[in-house]
Structure 1
Amino acid sequence: MSTSNRGRSRLVADRRYKKPTAAKTTGKPSRPRRKKAPRKTRGPLGWVLSLLLWPFRLLFRLALYGTAVATLVVAAAVFYVYGTLPDYSALLDGRARGSITLLDRHGDIFARRGDQFGGAVTTETVSPHLSNAIVATEDKRFWWHAGISPRGIASAIRINLREGRGPLSGHGGSTITQQTAKLLCLGVEYDPAQWDSEAAYISDCRRGSLARKGREAIFALAMEAKYSKAEILSIYLNRAYMGGGAYGAEAAAQRYFAVSAAELNPAQSAMIAGLLTAPSSLAPTSNLARSQDRAATVLRLMNEQGYLTDDEATYWQQNPATLSTRNSNPDGGYFADWVIRAIARAEDAADGDAGDNRSSFDNDILRALEEASRDQVLQTTLDPAIQRAAAEAVDQVFSTRIREGSKAEVAVVVMSADGAVRAMVGGRDTDASGVFNRATQAKRQTGSAFKPFVYATALELGYGPLDTVVDEPFCMTIPGSGRWCPENYTSDYKGRVSLTDALKDSLNIPAVKISESVGRDLVHRVSADFGIASDLADTPALALGASESTLLEMTGAYAGILNGGSSVTPYGVVGQDGSGIGERVISPQAAGELIWMMQQVIERGTGRRAALPDREAAGKTGTSQEAKDAWFIGFTADYVAGVWMGYDDNTPLTGVTGGGLPAEIWREVMTRVHADLPARPLPAIAPARAAPAPAPQPAPQAQTGQNRQERPQRERPRDPVQSLLEQVLREIIGGN
């Protein structure tokens, strides 16, 4: 073959693309490239959805950024507060006030106020049952949360809304840490230069505004970062008010059970923990049965949370805690409250502070203890036997004579003729403490119980019990008010009656006539001098008791009549300055005649149901306008007693007048008070022509001038003004 074609080039074209080198080196086939999917075009529906979702995306981003910023702000605030917190030991017990111990007239202790036992405790030194009971009751997630409990707050809001309140009104959902922060006043120390009193400081610390709640939460978070849970609970155990005047666990344990806080059993621990929500009203010294019921609930909570077994909870519920025999005598709670308030007012007066806020018993304790740098022991005038007699009488009448469900209240005061208060009951709950005291705090219309002071003025001006006045339709024109026509309670008229009959039958028209004739200003002056310090109305209705007064004031004024006409300042502390018998108001002669007239009220008049079986007594009934108040105040030769009945909301009484239930309560009280006392006659001065044995009889005729001369002459100077007043009085009431 020919070899001539070897040098010719190939007829096929060269490869246009090189072979992949990877294939040569690895022996693996190459992957084909994935083509990009064409971008879909957003349709009308997509645009609509995008527009709808855009606000939500914006809100989510804003919330996210806002939460981040808020977290940083809160963290900064917590970090700042953390740096201001002192060492734990400095907060454990910050109270340095002394205490007040009250002794009765025999020298026995009947009440204590303040932290009289002292001694800081910790969770390691108190009974574990107490720590468990407080956690179970106040904050069951205490050992796990970080200082605040969103779950608890949400639960509290739900309860508040369900009960018809605002979301932040009522239950607050506060943890124990938050409560401790409040007790520490968020770290603000008391500065006398900044606050009017420690009471004002405490009041400000307890404010519950939304801003305050926020600061409280920050302080609580800082405390959780600074202190251990045990340390926070220890501070709380020392700072919390636990009723009965006791601050802290040790004081409460000693106050109620006469044991140390380390010795408390589950029932005692549950009782202390249970009263933290309402220390004054739930304290066992106020109402033991109510305190035991609350403790039973706490024991159930301890069982549900694993602190007590079923058998243990059942046992302690069936064997509730009781007050120790040393502290179980609850008599005199209202009296002790009154003494504490009197001390607080005296300190306010010494500081030049009038002080209008007298509603908080806790604040009164603080004011009384502010200046006490050491424990004080005060001898008081309280007589425990008389106190028990008053309480038993109230219980007896209310249990047998008052319909079930009635909300009518009562107050009783018993004192000696010199103003020494021997017993005080401020409400139907006769052994209560730290609650509203109707004997000293309730100002009520006095009604006809005021009339003795009208007749005291007339007797002091020289007129006698047998002088007469005409009981008849009577009207007056009062400037600015028009025509005023008073009526008698019975809506009838007796004609000409003696002053004695006018008083014993509690006739209104004679009282107004006499008041206007002797001068309303003189009646006002006599009653004020006797100790009725309340504002008295400057109208003709003054004679009918249209003004308001307290039972303590009225009883003290009647004591002035009994002691012969000298003013009396009721007092409860032996040696208390400015108390007891004061200056003379009316002469002994006038006082003796008035006592005789008031004796007829009980023997023959509206107060017959108050008559005592074995001794003389004198007094006066009183029923205010529309029967909103019913009074009976009277005395024997030994004691003066006052009784008031009514409703706190001024609801009219139904079928009750001063001569009814109040007179019966007065009789029951005085019968018990005088059980072991010999009968003594009243210091009454009967008029010269009075019958030796008073008995119901027609109203006596008008007395003649000759009869008047037969009366003993007053040993006091006469002046022209007095003579003119006497002449006007004779012309009006029928004298010659």
Structure 2
Amino acid sequence: MGAALLLALAAGPAQALQSFADVQQEFRSSEASLYDRKGQLLQQVRMNPNERRLSWVALEDVSPALRNALVASEDRRFYQHSGVDWNAVAAAAWGNLWNTKTRGASTITMQLAGLLDDDLRRRTSPRSIGQKMSQVVVAQQLERNWRKDQILEAYLNLVSFRGELVGIHALSRVLFGKHPSGLSQREAAIAVALIRGPNATPARVAERACRILQEQRAAQECKGLEDFTLLALVRTGSNSEVIVTTSAPQLAPHLARKLLRTPGQAVRSTLDAGVQRFANDALRRQLAALVERNIEDGAILVLDNASGDVLAWVGSSGSFSNAANVDGVVALRQAGSTLKPFLYELAIEKKWMTAASILNDSAINLPTASGLYIPQNYDKQFKGLVSVRTALASSLNIPAVRTLVTVTPTTFFERLQGLGFQLRESGDYYGYSLALGSADVSLLALSNAYRALANQGRYSGVRTTLADPAVKMTKVMDSGAAFIIGDILSDRSARSRTFGLENALSTRVWSAVKTGTSKDMRDNWAIGYSDRYTVGVWVGNASGLPMWDVSGVTGAAPVWQEVMQYLHTRDQLRQQVPQKPAGVVERDIRYADKIEAPRQEYFLAGTEQSLITTASSDDISIAIRYPTPGMLVALDPDIPPQRQRIRFAADGLPSGAWRLDGKLLTPPAAKAGKKTSRQSAASDPQLAFDWMPWPGRHVLELLDHKMAVVDQVRFEVRGAVENHAQQKTGRARKNN
């Protein structure tokens, strides 16, 4: 009858018995782990707030001192019994009868049974008779189906120690800062003592550990043991909560938070541990050198041009920062001059200008909806007439704004969107300041857009894990124009008018690079590429505070140069100069007025010239003067609609016409073949036109003599024209 009852009580647990392989496979670390592309651990992130487990540890990777201490303390006849130590059970029963202390009768196998089955797990109260009987049966089942080494290995990985620590791996890392394989005899005794009394005081733990050492004939290790135990347990706080992290590397915290989601997750990233570590160190060295310049934050991104793989993702400067959790790779910051290459590429692609075209670096005032826009150069000086090559390489602001007048903010905005910037506002919102980088962009988007230049106009997203599919390239820029921009950005002589010949933008291999500094020196950028890699660097303050006299060439550029040269030195890559694509021709040029020295220049086929004259490259001025982009017109309800007009005005074009909302406009005076006093001094009578406004949003286009659009503005009219018309109609009906 008793045997039948025992079998009935044990039937459920026995049926649920797992294999060793199943237990090992279902084990989940509380940490998620990020590895580099070669399998090297980069970062661990705590995902389970209730307990701390680290990876499963094989028994052969556990210190022999710990295995010996555990068996000696918890289960001396572990290797002889078949799950239940009946000698220990009898001794415990005899001790209970005579009220004397004896060693516990629960074997390691029985304790493991309690760890594997929630119904058998001991919580606040002692196990019931039925639970103890089931525990015995499950222990015997384990012994029949598992090897002794598997039982010991599973126990060490599943047993709870102090507070939230589960498993010998977590205990060893947190309390002793080492792998379980390196535990000393003294450390092993403390670990085993914590199994019996996980929440005991350091003095009680040391006392228990000393008894374990004495039983192992190592009493000499008891000397200073209490202080040693106290020091180890200082790593846990009140209520036995662990207050320190493990000794796992912390190389890529920001990307880890982006990629890791569940406990036990292991992700093989595209990062290269060597590049990641070097980039981290390079950033911190530079910020340490600039500590007196009110700068504490930075970020670095390294991309493989061909694959789009992210090789380094440094989101912050770590200990230098008061906002170390802010990911500077994806944070939005003002772009500064880093958008200029895409503006000039678009102008060259459209064949509106060439690298040899002349732009006027002189004062300019542009009317906008919010007033006059008066851009200035970084040094508050003007260089006069300069070529596009010089204007871009030397990062002159006024020529860039004049170029955007030709390209138009809307067209430039659309190109930036095609390059993955995902700007929040429209081109009209930014206006002409978009040429100088008034938009907020991320280091990730900016670096990847430069990667498209490196790939001669072909764009794709990036990869952060090896499980991501291979990237697919899409052509978004003309390959020839992108090649010409790269050649300009690699030209030391062309950038010397602003930066001099010796600066942090030069590398031992071919590279193209552009710096940028936002308003009030709040952001520094250096973005550039070689034939193999694209490197982007941002430095500044996450708080938005300005730096003190730190520009892109002194702040971000030294880090960019150091990382770029490391990449090519490490890989022992030979210098590779981009090959000229089809459709690009090279010509010897000279300037008629000796504005710049003779040189060889690249052109898109069909735009090449040998003699560059000032007359053929007059100053580019705004085409549509009025209305201004984004202008809001409010009509006066007290003035009859017939007497309200908006004058369309433009200059800088020898002849042309207007088109409003897709409809061609022809002024009455032009039809009559004469001018009126209302027509302004534009070079063609049709370039001044008085229009009776109508409420709504409108698109006004200026057309050249070939009916091609040369400028476009959007504006809105609000008012009571419809009310006037309704009142007039109402009076007519009343009179009838």
CA contact (8 A) 2:507 2:561 kept: no
Q: Decide which of 549, 556, 562 is 2:448's aligned counterpart.
A: 556
1:392 equivalent in structure 2: 281
CA contact (8 A) 1:444 1:550 kept: yes
Q: Does residue 330 of the first structure (1) align with residue 249 of the second (2)?
A: yes
For each residue in 1:257-297, what CA deviation from the matched residue of structure 2 results, as whole angstroms up to 9, or x when unmatched? Answer: 33289989769999xx9xxxxxxxxxxxxxxxxxxxxxxxx
Q: Decide which of 415, 419, 439 is 1:530's aligned counterpart.
A: 419
* RMSD of equivalent CA atoms: 5.5
1:415 equivalent in structure 2: 303
CA contact (8 A) 1:601 1:618 kept: no
Q: How many Å apart are 1:108 and its aligned residue?
A: 3.7
Aligned ranges for residues 332-731 of structure 1 at < 5 Å? 332-334=251-253, 337-338=254-255, 340-342=257-259, 365=260, 368-369=261-262, 377-399=266-288, 401-403=289-291, 408-418=296-306, 419-429=308-318, 436-462=325-351, 463-479=353-369, 481-536=370-425, 538-540=429-431, 541-577=433-469, 580-600=471-491, 604-605=495-496, 609-675=503-569, 676-683=572-579, 688-689=586-587, 698=596, 709-710=607-608
Structure 2 vs 1, CA of residues 248 and 674 (structure 1 numbering), >3 Å: closer, same or farther?
same
Q: How many Å apart are 1:657 and its aligned residue?
A: 0.6
Q: How many Å apart are 1:379 and its aligned residue?
A: 3.3
Structure 2 vs 1, CA of residues 251 and 329 (structure 1 numbering), >3 Å: closer, same or farther?
closer
For each residue in 1:33-75, what CA deviation from the matched residue of structure 2 results, as whole angstroms up to 9, or x when unmatched? Answer: xxxxxxxxxxxxxxxxxxxxxxxxxxxxxxxxxxxxxxxxxxx
Q: Which moved more, 1:486-495 or 1:261-270?
A: 261-270
> Given the two structures, how large is their TM-score scaled by the length of structure 1?
0.52
CA contact (8 A) 1:631 1:644 kept: yes
State the distance in 2 between where 1:96 and 1:468 align: 69
2:55 equivalent in structure 1: 117
State the distance in 2 between where 1:629 and 1:496 align: 29
Structure 2 vs 1, CA of residues 691 and 709 (structure 1 numbering), >3 Å: closer, same or farther?
closer
Q: How many Å apart are 1:644 and its aligned residue?
A: 0.6
State the distance in 2 between where 1:269 and 1:727 align: 85
Q: How many Å apart are 1:503 and its aligned residue?
A: 1.0
For each residue in 1:572-625, what CA deviation from the matched residue of structure 2 results, as whole angstroms up to 9, or x when unmatched? Answer: 112414x63431111211110111121126863456523444211111110011
Q: How many Å apart are 1:447 and its aligned residue?
A: 0.7
State the distance in 1 between where 2:532 and 2:262 align: 35
State the distance in 2 between where 1:385 and 1:602 align: 34
Count of aligned positions = 461
Q: Which amino acid aligns with 1:409?
A: D
Q: How many Å apart are 1:338 and its aligned residue?
A: 1.6
Structure 2 vs 1, CA of residues 237 and 681 (structure 1 numbering), >3 Å: closer, same or farther?
same
> Given the two structures, how large is their TM-score scaled by the length of structure 2?
0.52
CA contact (8 A) 2:301 2:329 kept: no
Q: How many Å apart are 1:388 and its aligned residue?
A: 2.7
Q: Which secondary structure state, in structure 2, belongs to the residue aligned with residue 553 of structure 1?
A: helix
Q: Which has the higher helix share?
A: 1
Structure 2 vs 1, CA of residues 449 and 241 (structure 1 numbering), >3 Å: closer, same or farther?
farther
For each residue in 1:168-194, what CA deviation from the matched residue of structure 2 results, as whole angstroms up to 9, or x when unmatched? Answer: xxxxxxxxxxxxxxxxxxxxxxxxxxx
Structure 2 vs 1, CA of residues 458 and 269 (structure 1 numbering), >3 Å: closer, same or farther?
farther
Structure 2 spans left out of the alignment, 5+ residues = 1-25, 48-52, 58-65, 71-122, 129-156, 195-200, 210-221, 236-245, 611-661, 663-700, 713-736
Q: Which amino acid aligns with 2:608?
A: E
Q: How many Å apart are 1:238 and its aligned residue?
A: 8.2
Structure 2 vs 1, CA of residues 563 and 573 (structure 1 numbering), >3 Å: closer, same or farther?
same
State the distance in 1 between where 2:423 and 2:340 align: 16
Q: How many Å apart are 1:104 and its aligned residue?
A: 2.3
Q: Which amino acid aligns with 2:562?
A: E
Structure 2 vs 1, CA of residues 490 and 560 (structure 1 numbering), >3 Å: closer, same or farther?
same
Q: Which amino acid aligns with 2:458?
A: S
Q: Which amino acid aligns with 1:338?
A: L
Could you say which structure has the larger radius of gyration?
A: 1
Aligned ranges for residues 264-279 of structure 1 at < 5 Å? none
State the distance in 2 between where 1:683 and 1:321 align: 62
CA contact (8 A) 2:408 2:711 kept: no
For each residue in 1:227-267, what CA deviation from the matched residue of structure 2 results, as whole angstroms up to 9, or x when unmatched? Answer: 99xxxxx999689778xxxx887546469633289989769
Q: Which secondary structure state, in structure 2, belongs to the residue aligned with residue 661 of structure 1?
A: coil
CA contact (8 A) 1:103 1:111 kept: yes
Q: How many Å apart are 1:504 and its aligned residue?
A: 1.3
State the distance in 2 between where 1:127 and 1:448 align: 67
For each residue in 1:437-467, what CA deviation from the matched residue of structure 2 results, as whole angstroms up to 9, or x when unmatched? Answer: 5333421111111211211221221232112
Q: How many Å apart are 1:641 and its aligned residue?
A: 0.5
Q: Which secondary structure state, in structure 2, belongs to the residue aligned with residue 688 of structure 1?
A: strand
- Identity among equivalent positions (%) equals 24
Structure 1 spans left out of the alignment, 5+ residues = 1-94, 120-124, 130-222, 229-233, 274-300, 343-364, 713-719, 732-736
Q: How many Å apart are 1:700 and its aligned residue?
A: 8.0
